[in-house]
Every structure is written in C-alpha cells, then in structure tokens.
C-alpha cells in the first residue's frame, strides 16, 4: 500500500526507484501502480520524474 501523504509518497517512491527499479515504468508495472495517477499526485507538490536520474524532484 502506498502512503497517502504526498511527501511520504515522494520519499517512498524515490527510495524504491533508487534501490530496486531501473525506471518508473518498471516500478509501476511490478507494483501495479497507475503511473498517471502517481505522477499527478507528485506533480501536485511540484515534483516531476527525471528519467535520466531515475527519481522525482
């Protein structure tokens, strides 16, 4: 289950991307997460995915 708080969600997703997944696509597919919903939640706090760094910032 993903954290509801956007800041906690950001931390959780970036940790997973750093330690376990080579891309956002791989994370979403493996964890069965709707990528659009996830990116919209994080965009609401000003964070966007950087594919080159494989993290939200």
* pLDDT (average), residues 8-14: 98
How far CA 24 is from CA of 10, 11, 36, 44, in Å, comes to: 13, 14, 11, 18
Alpha carbon distance 14, 24 (integer Å): 10
Task: Give the pTM.
Answer: 0.95
Band (1; pLDDT cuts 50, 70, 90): confident
* pLDDT (average), residues 31-40: 98
pLDDT at 56 over 90: yes
């Amino acid at each position: 289950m993903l954290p509801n708080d956007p800041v906690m969600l950001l931390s959780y997703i970036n940790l997973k991307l750093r330690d376990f997944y080579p891309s956002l696509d791989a994370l979403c597919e493996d964890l069965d997460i709707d990528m659009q919903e996830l990116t919209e939640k994080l965009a609401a706090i000003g964070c966007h995915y950087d594919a080159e760094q494989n993290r939200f910032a």
